[in-house]
Structure 1
Amino acid sequence: MNPLHLLRPLLFACLPALVLYPLPGIAQDREASAPAPRDGQRDFDFEIGTWRTQLKRRLRPLTGSNTWVEMKGTTVVRKVWNGRGNLVELVADGEGGRFEGLNLRLYNPRTRQWSLHFANSRDGTLAVPTVGEFKEGRGEFYAQEQLDGRAILVRFVISNVTPTSVRFEQAFSDDGGKTWEVNWIAQDTRVDAAAGRTKQGAVTD
């Protein structure tokens, strides 16, 4: 009898085990080729410095009103914790009077996300932080808050990032995120433009 006829069934029986249990070297190669999680703790480096701010805000969000006021001011962003946090101070004047805002942004290295904690001088309290991250140069941050006693969703977007300009937009949703109403638009232009050209121009992966 041909010995190969005896070996053939044994070889076919072993094939499923080879498929289910790849060799250790192959598994290690796959793990080594997997992309490392993105570290976003430098995401806001582009914004450190002084900016000229032009902003519009909707006076009565989610009421059907389309009344906006325009303001102009200055935004100063300072790095803390060696870049894992930053402090934003905005002072603006215009049709809506004087506005003074503060935003403390903190990076969580475990979740690789940022939390944005906003306050204004009118009430002196921190709002519920919006939480999120940057992807391909665009930052999106979300929170659930209350507006006039009802639960709403908040979305804060940072986009169009260049060495000398950046756009901010806030929107509310009272239908679980199906539709959004924008209530805050700010366009910042760097004052210390020469310094801006030496910094990171945009957030990248």
Structure 2
Amino acid sequence: MTNSAHDFDFLHGHWRVDHRRLRQRLCGCTDWDRFDGTCSAQPLLGGEGNVDDNLLHLPGGSYRAATLRAHDARTGQWSIWWLDGRQPHRLDVPVVGRFDHGVGTFFADDVFDSRPIRVRFRWTDMQTASPGWEQAFSADGGLSWEVNWTMRFHRLPD
């Protein structure tokens, strides 16, 4: 097994982020909001984790959020938590997964609008100047997926 503790090293630094988010989720909506933001990521836990600070400029107003990632050296998997500054008392259920063949895929079971869902995060294009991230929900146990949020990262000078 390769040392997967460095999987997220590509993200360290400062970024401008282009966001695209479905206005409504899991109801057949095809209308997207587009907005920008920033992200600053740095390692922690001696390189076995990282954290990023995000500023998102939603159409209805800006907010801050943070992502915490921790690597399990025993399994090679990552756990990823999202903390939304608008709900500072709630840490989202972690998505758990790994990178394989240049794609990072992470899953969690959660609840959305009082119904159980499966959540998927996917990281792509990490070796390019514009890495990509997407979030998808499944209401049928992973048989079908609705991508509801995408981000494209553009590195800023230090």
CA distance in 2, matches of 1:99, 1:54: 15
Q: How many residues align?
A: 157
Contact residue 71 and residue 94 of structure 1 kept, 8 A: yes
Q: Paired residue for 1:90? A: 54
CA distance in 1, matches of 2:128, 2:13: 11
CA distance in 2, matches of 1:135, 1:152: 24
Residues 56-71 of structure 1 correspond to what in structure 2 (within 5 A)?
56-71=20-35
Identical amino acids, percent of aligned pairs: 36
- Match of 1:165, SS state, is coil
Two-structure CA RMSD over aligned residues (Å):
1.3
Q: 1:106 aligns with which of 70, 88, 91?
A: 70
Residues 105-184 of structure 1 correspond to what in structure 2 (within 5 A)?
105-124=69-88, 125-184=90-149
By percentage of residues, which structure has more helix? Answer: 1
2:16 maps to 1:45:
no
Unmatched 5+ residue regions in structure 1?
A: 1-36, 196-205
- Match of 2:131, SS state, is strand
By percentage of residues, which structure has more strand? Answer: 2
Unmatched 5+ residue regions in structure 2?
A: none
Contact residue 46 and residue 163 of structure 1 kept, 8 A: no
Moved more, 159-168 or 110-119: 159-168
User: Which AA in structure 1 matches 2:93?
Assistant: V
Q: Paired residue for 2:44? A: 80
2:154 maps to 1:189:
yes
How far does residue 94 in structure 1 lie from its aligned partner after superposition?
3.9
Larger radius of gyration: 1
The normalised TM-score by structure 2 is 0.94
TM-superposition CA deviations, 1:58-79 (whole Å, max 9, x none)? 1221022223211111100011
How far does residue 163 in structure 1 lie from its aligned partner after superposition?
4.8
CA distance in 2, matches of 1:59, 1:98: 16
Q: Paired residue for 2:19? A: 55
Q: Structure 1 stretches (4+) deviating beyond 4 angstroms?
A: none
